A = this chain, B = another copy of it.
Amino acid sequence: MNSQHIVRAYDDELATLGNRIAAMGGHAERMVDEAVGALINADVALARKVIADDIVLDEGQRWIDDRAILLIAKRQPMADDLREIIGTIRIAADLERVGDLGKSIAKRVVAVSDTRQPVQLFRGLEALATLALTQLKQVLDVYASRSIGAIAFMRDRDEEIDAMYTSLFRELLTYMMEDPRNISPCTHLLFCAKNIERIGDHATNIAETVYYVVTGEQLPLERPKEDKSHRVVLGSSSAS
């Protein structure tokens, strides 16, 4: 085996890791999209499918971890390639968590579909999910293209998700105060909203990893990532 051959095999192995990340990303996006669809349409069968699908991401993460560590041990890569490989370990962990969050939404479908909820609550959740999924899709595109110029823009998007989540949080609380029968289903919707908001955080984590992989630098620590829902206090006077 000549040295050119070895370099080619190494590049192939790196590309295989990248392809698996792309596949995991697509799978995670679909899971979240379907989970939110199942929630909105009270589709218990679809929810069950999402729950069953999660294993694919668990296995994907383990495969990436094992493969990445083998690759490091075998090839002993220097700085750039090492960052690349460590990056796949980190991104796989974030995508596995996104899958868990999708699964967690799907698990609440039965509890929520028990009683009919007003359409505007679901619209809010759907809009939040669209934002978070766009964020996730964009960051996976950045990972594929290495065009890190888009990363600054992504942080603004994360703020948008946080603001929308906080407004939804307030809306759900108001609705719970209007009628105690709403408390149980709306609590589950609150957790679904929180899960979607956290998908945005994972997209931001991935953006930071991609930045690190490409530049070798870490993004400054302070980022404006924070939902404001922890400050929301609604007195009973807010209830109609």
Contact = CB atoms under 8 A, between A and B. Distances in A.
Contact of A239 (B78, B86, B180): B180
Interface in A220-234: 221, 230-234
A73 B84 CA distance: 12
Contacts of A108: 230
Given A173-B187, A221-B59, A180 B104 contact: no
A83 B111 contact: no
Copies of this chain assembled into the complex: 2
Given A69-B82, A72-B72, A221-B58, A232 B184 contact: yes
Interface of A is mostly: helix
A114 B231 CA distance: 11
A183 B176 contact: yes
Interface residues of A, number: 49
A104 to B, nearest CB: 7
Contacts of A73: 77-79, 82
A14 to B, nearest CB: 16
Interface stretch (A116-124, A147-155, A188-196): A188-196
Given A73-B78, A177-B183, A191-B194, A62 B221 contact: yes
Nearest to A105: B230
A110 interface: yes
7 contacts: A59-B221, A62-B221, A69-B82, A73-B82, A86-B89, A173-B183, A183-B234
**Smallest CB-CB A-B distances: 10 pairs:** A107-B230, A76-B76, A181-B236, A177-B180, A184-B234, A180-B236, A108-B230, A111-B233, A176-B183, A114-B233
